[in-house]
């Protein structure tokens, strides 16, 4: 009996004085965690704090009354769930922090990438400028001479001046305007056509470049009205240039503009010196000089091209006379139909916005009808979009 009382007293003292730390249940009050008697009697781990770390019923011996055990089990379950939720919450916060870091990383990486590309562009530009100018000047100078302090553009200007006698003259915008006005008055043919990279690449087919090169370099050609290889379009274009009264040629030194002009003409047996030439942007020059509205004013206009309906509407709103329109124009292959259809209209001036086909249409209309025709180009779109305002 004494032994039993001693054990009970020991248990009581453990529970009251040094038992495991209470857990807070969902209800808000404290419940003690059950402790095994065996844990109390085991040498070396008999302190209440160590007993609390050992799970209830871990090894042998009796337990506290059954009711307390059930209550403690329920509490442990709730506490375990609470601790799990806490761990999940902390883990989620960590994941969110990592996600935030990952989300912010691309912004920094994108900035670095832009910086890299900006530097690469600048380095490429400087290298291209050097190899495309300064290096050639270095190589042109004798090795035993030092050039004085002079800029590359000054050297080029001096060289260009020496080439003046070899240059072909271009009609200025006022001369083109006067020529067109006189032709309209006299009812004689006058076609003003314009050549750009599309026309020159078309002429270059099998004369300057092979078919594969033209397709690679002229990916825009189908949009402009020619699907290479198309040697028939090349020949039609060459003949239209041959018959034109004024030919607009590019002065830009970009790859497929002026550098391709001479080889393309030579390859098609065209003689530049035999033509009256002007700049290929003469349509815009007329507008900038204030001459376009005067040219269109009081004339019966035939409007041709995909933008013809919209352009005719705007022109009519502005008080110009539109006597007819032909639309659409489906590339060079459709030029013959357009030319035939134009015979049904009476007009003084045809304005044609039809890509490469415009060169053929203008030249043929002018010569077959004895009329004036202007390759109008993207000027039509600019007028329709109200980017250019026409006045009489």
Q: What is the pLDDT along the chain (392 residues), one digit of tens a residue?
A: 545 555 445 444 444 444 444 444 444 434 444 444 444 444 444 444 444 444 444 444 444 444 444 444 444 544 444 455 545 555 555 555 555 555 555 667 777 777 777 888 899 999 998 999 999 999 999 999 999 999 999 999 999 999 999 999 999 999 999 999 999 999 999 999 999 999 999 999 999 999 999 999 999 999 999 999 999 999 999 999 999 999 999 999 999 999 999 999 999 999 999 999 999 999 999 999 999 999 999 999 999 999 999 999 999 999 999 999 999 999 999 999 999 999 999 999 999 999 999 999 999 999 999 999 999 999 999 999 999 988 88
Is residue 160 domain-resident?
Answer: no
Q: What is the C-alpha separation between 283 and 388, in angstroms, rounded?
A: 12
* Measured CA distances, 47 to 9, 22, 55 (Å): 15, 16, 14
- Judge contact between 49 and 40, C-beta under 8 A: no
Asked whether residue 151 is assigned to any structural domain, the reply reads no
Residue 192: what are its φ and ψ, rounded to 5°? Answer: -110, 105
- Alpha-carbon span 153 to 136, nearest angstrom: 13
Report DSSP state, residue 26: T
pLDDT given for residue 104 in this prediction: 53
- Helix (H) or strand (E) segment spanning residue 302: strand 300-305
Last residue within a domain, chosen from 64, 85, 118: 64
Domain contains 203: yes
Q: For position 114, what pLDDT does the model report?
A: 77
Q: Which two tokens stand for residue 78?
A: 């709730």
Q: What SS3 state is found at 353?
A: strand
Last residue of a domain, one of 64, 80, 113: 64
Q: Beta-carbon neighbour count of residue 259 at 10 Å?
A: 14
Q: How many CA atoms lie within 13 A of 193 on its CB side?
A: 32
In a domain, 215, yes or no: yes
- Name the DSSP letter for residue 303: E
- What's the total number of domains in the chain? 2
- pLDDT for the residue numbered 339: 98
d(CA 6, CA 37): 13
Q: Token digits for 120? A: 């690469």
Residue 72 in any domain: the answer is no
Indicate the residue among 45, 64, 83 that finishes a domain. 64
In a domain, 177, yes or no: yes
Picking from 273, 276, 270, the residue whose alpha carbon sits closest to that of residue 238 is 270
Q: Which residues contact 116 (CB under 8 A, 6 or more apart)?
A: none
Q: Distance (Å, rounded) from C-alpha 330 to C-alpha 373?
A: 19
Is the same domain home to 220 and 338? yes
| Phi and psi at residue 206, to the nearest 5° | 60, 15
Residues 203 and 328 in one domain: yes
Helix (H, G, I), strand (E, B) or coil at 345: coil
Q: What is the pTM of this model?
A: 0.70
Structural domain includes residue 115: no
Structural domain contains residue 100: no
Predicted confidence at residue 270, as pLDDT, reads 98
Tell me which residue range forms the domain holding 362. Answer: 173-384
Rounded distance between C-alpha atoms, residue 180 and residue 174, angstroms: 10
State whether 225 and 342 are in the same domain.
Answer: yes
């Amino acid at each position: 009996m004494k032994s039993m009382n001693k054990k009970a007293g020991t248990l009581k003292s453990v529970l009251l004085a040094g038992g495991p730390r209470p857990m807070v249940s969902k209800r808000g009050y404290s419940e003690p965690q059950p402790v095994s008697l065996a844990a109390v009697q085991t040498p070396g781990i008999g302190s209440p704090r160590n007993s609390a770390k050992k799970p209830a019923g871990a090894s042998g011996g009796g337990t506290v009354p059954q009711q307390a055990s059930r209550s403690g089990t329920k509490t442990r379950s709730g506490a375990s769930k609470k601790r799990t939720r806490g761990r999940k919450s902390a883990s989620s916060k960590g994941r969110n922090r990592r996600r935030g870091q990952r989300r912010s990383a691309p912004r920094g990486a994108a900035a670095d990438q832009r910086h890299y590309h900006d530097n690469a562009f600048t380095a490429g530009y400087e290298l291209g400028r050097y190899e495309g100018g300064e290096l050639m000047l270095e190589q042109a100078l004798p090795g035993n001479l030092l050039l004085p302090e002079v800029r590359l553009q000054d050297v080029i200007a001096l060289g260009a001046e020496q080439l003046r006698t070899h240059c072909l003259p271009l009609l200025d915008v006022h001369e083109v305007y006067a020529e067109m006005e006189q032709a309209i008055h006299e009812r004689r043919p006058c076609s003003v056509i314009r050549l750009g990279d599309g026309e020159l690449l078309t002429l270059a087919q099998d004369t300057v470049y092979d078919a594969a090169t033209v397709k690679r370099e002229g990916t825009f050609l189908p949009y402009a009205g020619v699907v290479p290889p198309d040697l028939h379009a090349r020949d039609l274009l060459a003949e239209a240039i041959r018959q034109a009264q004024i030919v607009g040629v590019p002065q830009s030194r970009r790859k497929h503009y002026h550098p391709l002009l001479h080889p393309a003409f030579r390859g098609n047996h065209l003689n530049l010196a035999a033509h009256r030439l002007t700049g290929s942007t003469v349509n815009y020059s007329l507008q900038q000089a204030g001459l376009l509205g005067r040219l269109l004013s009081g004339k019966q206009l035939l409007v041709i091209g995909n933008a013809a309906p919209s352009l005719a509407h705007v022109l009519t709103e502005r008080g110009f006379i539109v006597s007819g329109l032909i639309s659409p124009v489906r590339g060079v292959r459709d030029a013959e139909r357009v030319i035939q259809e134009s015979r049904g209209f009476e007009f003084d001036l045809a304005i044609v916005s039809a890509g490469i086909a415009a060169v053929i249409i203008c030249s043929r209309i002018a010569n077959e009808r004895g009329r004036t025709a202007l390759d109008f180009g993207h000027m039509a779109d600019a007028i329709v979009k109200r980017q250019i305002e026409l006045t009489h």
